[in-house]
Amino acid sequence: MLGLTEFDKSLLNLLQGSIALSQRPFRDMAEKLGSDEQTVIDRINLLKENGYVRRIGAFFNSEKLGYTGTLVAVSVKPDKIASVAEAINKYPGITHNYERECDYNLWFTLLTPDSETHDRIINEIGALPGVEKLMDLSARRKYKINVRFNLK
């Protein structure tokens, strides 16, 4: 894998913050880095190819788009975990699904456009063979969402 240069770290730190809403956003970014547009574009593409970047784009506040999010924990019989996890993964509104060190061994996030869809999915998952218990842990308040790492 490509090692990160000092330039890459500065570039990634800027890129994690904000891409300008302008006609030539990477020229603006290049100016801040004392570089030029083409260098910045080439380097970002290289960093992407080398697997440093999960996604570059817009990240939305799901509530403000009319969606409701929740975190769901299920307790699954150990021999059924793969089949339950795979069934859960099929729902497009479920974006994260992790097996965790806990008696509630599967944890997933669910985004739905209305409460009918939410209730239907929760009921369907609760009825999957091997699911023993389910907790729907809706958020009362979100204090922080900031997946940003300072590269030094």
Partner 1 sequence: MLSELDKRIVRAMQGDFPICAEPYKKIAQEVGIPVELLLERLTLMKEQGQIRKLGAVLRHREIGFSANVLCVWVVPEERMEKVAANMCLNAAVTHCYDRNTMPDWPYNFYTMIHGSSREECEAIVDELAIENNLSERRLLFTLKEWKKTSMSYFTE
Residues in region 30-59 near partner 1 by CB under 8 A: 37, 41, 44-45, 48, 51-59
- Choosing from 3, 6, 34, 65, the residue that interacts with partner 1 (CB under 8 A) is 65
Angstrom distance (rounded) from CA 101 to CA 81:
13
Contacts with partner 1 in 66-95 (CB under 8 A)? 66-67, 71, 73, 85-86, 88-89, 92-95
Query: Which residues contact residue 74 at a Cβ distance below 8 angstroms, ignoring those fewer than 6 apart?
Result: 84, 104, 105, 106, 107, 108, 125, 126, 131, 132, 133, 134, 135
Residue nearer to partner 1 on the CB measure, 22 or 115: 22
Contacts with partner 1 in 121-150 (CB under 8 A)? 135, 137-150
CB of 119 to partner 1, least distance (A): 16
Strand 106-112 with 68-76, pairing: antiparallel
